[in-house]
Amino acid sequence: MKQKTNLTAAEQQQVSAAQSQKTGAREFATAEELLRADASEIEVPPAVEQRLGESIQREPKPARPWWRRLTGG
């Protein structure tokens, strides 16, 4: 049988806030904030880090900007 509780709006808000703090729920304003927080808490496995580094080295270097080609710089 369910228990009925007669909580005021303020009490419900307090209970909700307390429950979110227990579960560690956090809100982020932007996706970038979420990604930064996630990246700071998760360690990348060494094998993945090595493969990523190798992949980046195989990428072609970007072409020189037109203004550098024009000025010879």
- Does residue 42 sit within a domain? yes
Token pair listed for 52: 């990523």
Tokens of 46: 């060494």
Asked if residue 36 belongs to a domain, the reply is: yes
pLDDT of res. 53: 95
Residue 17 placed within a domain: no
Structure-model confidence comparison of residues 43 and 7, the more confident one: 43
Work out how many domains the chain is built from and give that number. Answer: 1
pLDDT, one tens digit per residue, over 13-66 is 776 666 655 667 889 999 999 999 999 999 989 999 999 999 999 999 999 999
How far is Cα 13 from Cα 72, in angstroms, rounded to an integer? 66
| CA nearest to 24, candidates 10, 37, 43, 9 | 37
